């Protein structure tokens, strides 16, 4: 019997690449997104259910999970991929933006996970893959909101892995580096106020550095391959770096103290 995976944020980037890869490998796929009526590629594939799920809308979560189980009998894996990045000086961020960032990247992830836990526990089987980032273990300037959410995902995942072990469910974290997705487009929410002149050198340094990094970004398919490994390798491994840059940056962070590593980031961004 074919296994089934539910993926959030499957309309583009990592989510869509993951949906296509699992479908190609014989899985049933519940490809969820906020606007499924705009999707054309995944809807034409066999054994793919495209359905609405907005991680900030609990009713849509329950409906999508129920529809996936009804269509395919059971769900064997969950990929919490939906999310975006809010950047900018914290002083400029409205509480509305702050809440939206955490509601999407953290609370939404928790709600989707909770919706599937009874199903996984009853089956005594399942894999939960949370898409974090190197930004869940390394922080860059102007990313207090985004990094706050991704550090939260790391902590949630590590803690959850302990309690799920008793149920046979595995928890995994995938940490991509720079990936050629729409993260720099519609998934990137930047806020600035040029009248706050003190912050503008940081803004310029961040934008210049990000442009350089994204110019060498790996394809989303690379992350999809890592997600496939995390779901299917049968191990208790918790964290998976995705991309050579991710491996290098995480190794550098692990080998240096705060002063050395943060000094390197400041130098790279011209903030010294």
Q: What's residue 188's pLDDT?
A: 84
Residue 143 banded pLDDT, cuts 50, 70, 90: very high
> HEC states along the chain?
CCCEEEECCCCCHHHHHHHHHHHHCCCEEEEEECCHHHCCCHHHCCCEEEEECCCCCHHHHHHHHHHHHHHHCCCCEEEECCCCEEECCHHHCCHHHHHHHHHHHHHHHHHHHHHHHHHHHHHCCEEEEEECCHHHCCCCCCCHHHHHHHHHHHHHHHHHHHHHHHHCEEEEEEEECCEECHHHCCCEEECCCCCCHHHHHHHHHHHHHHHHHHCCCEEHHHHHHHHHHHHHCCCCCCEEEECHHHHHHHHHHHHCCHHHHHHHHHHHCCCC
Which residues make Cβ contacts (< 8 Å) with residue 182, sequence separation at least 6?
Answer: 12, 13
Structure tokens at 54: 């907005």
Q: What was the pLDDT predicted at 154?
A: 98
Would you please indicate which residues are annotated as catalytic (active-site) residues?
132, 146, 150
Residue 163: count other Cβ atoms within 10 Å of its Cβ: 11
**185 has a pLDDT exceeding 60:** no
Q: What is the mean pLDDT of residues 154-163?
A: 98
Q: Give residue 218's pLDDT.
A: 86
pLDDT computed for residue 261 by the predictor: 96
Would you place residue 11 in the very low, low, confident or very high pLDDT band (cuts 50, 70, 90)? very high
Whole-model pTM? Answer: 0.95
Label residue 272 exposed, middle or buried (CB < 10 Å: 0-12, 13-18, 19+). Answer: exposed
Q: Do the Cβ atoms of 246 and 175 come closer than 8 Å?
A: yes
Of 151, 142, 164, 158, the residue nearest 77 (C-alpha): 164
Instruction: Label residue 35 exposed, middle or buried (CB < 10 Å: 0-12, 13-18, 19+).
Output: exposed
Average pLDDT over residues 148-168: 97
Average pLDDT score over the chain: 95
Q: Where are the domains of the chain?
A: 4-268
Which pLDDT score is estimated for 30? 98
Query: Measured at the alpha carbon of residue 118, what is the angle toward residues 115 and 124, in degrees to the nearest 5?
Result: 130
Strand partners, 241: 175
Question: In the structure, what pLDDT confidence band is assigned to residue 109 with cuts at 50, 70 and 90?
Answer: very high
Does the pLDDT value for residue 9 go beyond 90? yes
Q: Give the pLDDT of residue 184.
A: 52
Query: What is the rounded CA–CA span in Å between residue 264 and residue 138?
Result: 12
Beta bridge partners of 29: 5, 48
Confidence of residue 175 (pLDDT cuts 50, 70, 90): very high
Residue 241 Rama label (left phi>0; alpha psi -120 to 50; beta): beta
Tokens linked to 11: 């309309």
Share of the chain above pLDDT 90, in %: 89
pLDDT of 216 reads 76
Is 80 exceeded by the pLDDT of residue 215?
A: no
Q: What is the pLDDT of residues 188-202, one digit of tens each?
A: 899 999 999 999 999
Report pLDDT for 186.
59
Is pLDDT larger for residue 100 or for residue 180?
Answer: 100
What's the CATH superfamily of 4-268?
NAD(P)-binding Rossmann-like Domain (3.40.50.720)
Look at 171-185, 211-225, 232-246 and tell me which has the smallest mean pLDDT: 171-185
Condensed to tens digits (0 to 9), the pLDDT of residues 54-83 reads 999 999 999 999 999 999 999 999 999 999
Band (182; pLDDT cuts 50, 70, 90): low
């Amino acid at each position: 019997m074919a296994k089934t995976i539910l993926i959030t944020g499957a309309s583009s980037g990592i989510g869509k690449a993951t949906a296509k890869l699992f479908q190609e490998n014989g899985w049933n796929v519940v490809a969820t997104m906020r606007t499924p009526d705009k999707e054309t590629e995944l809807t034409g594939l066999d054994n793919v259910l495209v359905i609405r799920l907005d991680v900030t809308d609990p009713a849509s979560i329950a409906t999508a999970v129920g529809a996936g189980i009804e269509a395919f009998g059971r769900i064997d894996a969950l990929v919490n991929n939906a999310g975006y990045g809010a950047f900018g000086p914290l002083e400029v961020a409205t509480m509305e933006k702050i809440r939206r960032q955490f509601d999407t990247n953290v609370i939404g992830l928790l709600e989707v996970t909770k919706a599937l836990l009874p199903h996984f526990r009853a089956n005594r089987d399942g894999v939960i893959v949370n898409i974090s980032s190197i930004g869940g273990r390394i922080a860059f300037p102007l990313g207090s909101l985004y990094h706050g959410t991704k550090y939260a995902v790391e902590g949630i995942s590590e803690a959850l892995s302990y309690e799920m072990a008793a149920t046979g469910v595995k928890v995994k974290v995938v940490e991509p580096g720079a990936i050629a997705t729409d993260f720099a487009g519609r998934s990137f929410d930047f806020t600035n106020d040029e009248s706050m002149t003190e912050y503008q050198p940081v803004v310029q340094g961040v934008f210049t550095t990000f442009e350089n990094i994204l110019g060498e970004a790996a394809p989303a398919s690379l992350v999809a391959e890592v997600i496939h490994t995390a779901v299917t390798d049968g191990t208790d491994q918790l964290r998976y770096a995705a991309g050579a840059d991710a491996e290098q940056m995480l190794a550098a962070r692990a080998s240096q103290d705060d002063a050395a590593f943060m000094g390197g980031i400041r130098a790279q961004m011209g903030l010294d």
